[in-house]
Structure 1
């Protein structure tokens, strides 16, 4: 869960903190934006660019028109959701809230990616299949059984609402086979709609490649 990856070294700014303090913290932490809070409520991010454009270091964090007030996830959500939210807003980190919408901390994108880099489902060679299916038809155990009948295994999965058809799911599966021909044929024979497929034949060597692979899972 996201709460397990909170970086305690990154403090939030209070609305009374001035821009000078914000710039010093950003330089020390090597970040270009910091969250701003008031009474444990997250208000948005103050960015280095905003301070430079404002052209005064005496301004308080609360004086700025903050950005990314929706760049947050809840503590119980999966780390995938945190990564997706950070990339959607093009921030280096995402805020974590509790059920009372109170600020808990931030997860840094690079920290999350370091976890994914150790994941077998990301690192291993194989193929990726994306299925579109009715929500009532979703059964990962049944789909896995069909895949295993072709001497293949599901190494990882991601389930999202289909952006084109909100009544349906999109299920992304990482499979430990590069040749997906027989697996796809079996799935289609049992009525599953395959909307995309990819082959991954090289190891992932840098952060951008890991992010690209992860976003392929989340956005497929």
Structure 2
């Protein structure tokens, strides 16, 4: 599903020449965790609300550029990867750039979460599996191959937690051949944290993802 319709420009990004005091005023008016910062036409990163309140009001954003968080997604990034980026950077704003690195606007987490709530991940009957593996040792393509090789269908998956270089991946699959899917994950050295039937999957999702628990209210 295409989420580019959710790219918005209601709030102008900050400029490097802006003062920290100006950034503080913007954060007081909004509920954003971060604000994109531009150097002319060039996106240079995001300043966080937490950092902004720690800086001296008389400083310029150029003076505190070292503290910027540099993250973004492309306009064609899949919505599950966008959701993962929100979680990785603990942000509720995600800058969007095109293939030439032109700033297009930003996503708000609440909009992507609404898209998430409307997806088959939530409304299709199935089972939710939570697995773990080293963050450099897995791939989404491998996970999909494991599920589909056991004649099951994958409705969606995303990184629901990250700690000590271990990624936790939550996925929802069709109810067919769940045990075979679990056995195959173990053969591929995935740790199976839990496997829940459809009637309990939302509770498991909230319990195992502190980040999404703050925003998912369905």
Q: CA deviation at 1:107?
A: 1.1
Q: CA deviation at 1:97?
A: 0.8
Do structure 1's residue 128 and structure 2's residue 128 form an aligned pair? Answer: yes
- 1:175 maps to 173
Do structure 1's residue 77 and structure 2's residue 77 form an aligned pair? Answer: yes
- 1:98 maps to 98
- 1:199 maps to 196
**TM-score when normalising by structure 1:** 0.67
SS for the counterpart of 2:151 is helix
Alpha-carbon separation, structure 2, partners of 1:45 and 1:156 = 32
Q: Which runs of no fewer than 5 residues in structure 2 stay unpaired?
A: 160-168, 213-218
CA contact (8 A) 1:2 1:82 kept: no
- 2:151 maps to 147
CA contact (8 A) 1:75 1:97 kept: yes
Cα 1:139–1:80 shift into 2, 3 Å? closer
Cα 1:211–1:109 shift into 2, 3 Å? farther
Q: Which runs of no fewer than 5 residues in structure 1 stay unpaired?
A: 149-153, 161-170, 216-220
Alpha-carbon separation, structure 1, partners of 2:60 and 2:29 = 19
Q: CA deviation at 1:43?
A: 1.0
SS for the counterpart of 1:202 is helix
Q: State the aligned residue count.
A: 194
Q: CA deviation at 1:34?
A: 0.5
Q: CA deviation at 1:156?
A: 1.0
**RMSD value over aligned CA atoms?**
4.1
Q: CA deviation at 1:124?
A: 4.2
- 1:34 maps to 35
Q: CA deviation at 1:80?
A: 1.6
Alpha-carbon separation, structure 1, partners of 2:151 and 2:44 = 46
Do structure 1's residue 111 and structure 2's residue 115 form an aligned pair? Answer: no
SS for the counterpart of 2:96 is strand
Alpha-carbon separation, structure 2, partners of 1:28 and 1:48 = 11
Q: Deviations over 1:97-144 (max 9, x none)?
A: 111112111112222111101222234453235699999x96969964
Cα 1:213–1:3 shift into 2, 3 Å? farther
Q: Deviations over 1:149-175 (max 9, x none)?
A: xxxxx2514499xxxxxxxxxx97522
